[in-house]
Structure formats: C-alpha cells, structure tokens
Amino acid sequence: MKKYKFNFVILANIFIMLITHNVEAQNNKESTLELLQTKTWHMQGLTDKEVSDKYDANQITHYFNKKGFEFSEHSEYYLSNTIDQEFDSNKVGKVSNGKYIISRFIREKKDDGPDKISVCEIKEINKNWLIIRNIKHKHVLRYKGELKL
C-alpha cells in the first residue's frame, strides 16, 4: 500500500509540474501585436524593388524603394479574428491577437476617394517571419523580420 501511495505522490507532482510549465509557457508567449511591433518586416522575393513595413500600436508605415525612388505610405490597422467588411477605427491599437490584419490607408484629404481597406490573413508569425495572404487578391506575401533600429 505504501508503494502505491508513493507512486501516486510522484505522479501527482509530475502532473503539477507539467501544468505549471504549460501555464508559464503560455504567459511568456508574445502576442501577435508584440511580434508585429518588434521588427521591421522586409518583403522577400522581389528583384526590382524593396518593400518593408514597420508596425506600431496604431499604424503601419510602408516603405518603398525602386531604383533610388523612395517613398512611404501609412495605414491605420487593427487585428481581428473575423474578416471585417468595414474598417472599425474603435479597434485600432486595442486588440493584441487576431487572425487577420485589417488596414486602411491614411489619406491626406477626405476627398481623396473611398477608403482603401485591406484584409490580410496571418498565415504565420514568429520572431523571424511574417507570412500573410491578401484575402481579395489571394497573394501570399513573405516578410523576413529584422530588429527595429
């Protein structure tokens, strides 16, 4: 009987250690928003131009360089678990995780035409890679992460 009690105590301790380790691993996992914001994301597979994106809490800055001609654009964005048909500015900077990046280009003037909304599915994100798929055009875009300076 003592042998069974001893085995039970050992199994119970192992079980508690596994649960504690799993909870700690979940607590240490970076959110999607944190992963997006810690890197400059450089688009891969381009030969004639360079494209990179930097995320902060409220906007994406898109950098373009084609044969010495450089410019940038800005989009406000938020994360969502659904494919939103309309941009909800109340969600900007407030959602830490999501399956989709919902973005809208920031226009200089309100009369510049209708809002350009983009929905991209996050296929993979980690410390090194961001892989997204544009829902409308079905393009898969691969970005390599580099620490922000």
CB 141 within 8 A of CB 132: yes
State the Cα–Cα distance between residues 83 and 137, nearest whole angstrom: 14
Please check whether residues 74 and 100 belong to one and the same domain. yes
Question: CB neighbours of 75 closer than 8 A, spacing ≥ 6?
Answer: 59, 60, 62, 103, 104, 105, 106, 118
Cα 2 to the chain's mean position, in Å?
53
What's the pTM?
Answer: 0.76
pLDDT of residue 77: 98
Please check whether residues 118 and 84 belong to one and the same domain. yes
pLDDT of residue 12: 53
Question: Is residue 23 left, alpha or beta, with left meaning phi > 0 and alpha meaning psi from -120 to 50?
Answer: alpha
pLDDT of residue 9: 58
Q: Strand 39-43 vs strand 140-147: parallel, antiparallel, or unpaired? A: antiparallel
Gyration radius of the chain's alpha carbons: 22
Residue 80: closest CA among 118, 25, 27, 129: 118
Ranges under pLDDT 50 in the chain: 20-27
Please check whether residues 44 and 12 belong to one and the same domain. no
Q: Which domain holds residue 2?
A: 1-30
Tokens (6 digits) for 35 = 């992963």
Total number of domains constituting the chain? 2
Please check whether residues 84 and 40 belong to one and the same domain. yes
Please check whether residues 66 and 123 belong to one and the same domain. yes
What does the pLDDT look like over 20-53, one tens digit per residue? 444 433 445 899 999 999 999 999 999 899 999 9
CB 79 within 8 A of CB 121: no
Place of tokens 């999501």: 98
pLDDT of residue 24: 38
CB 94 within 8 A of CB 105: no
Please check whether residues 106 and 120 belong to one and the same domain. yes
pLDDT of residue 138: 87
State the Cα–Cα distance between residues 101 and 99, nearest whole angstrom: 7
| Distance in angstroms between the alpha carbons of the first and the last residue of the chain | 64
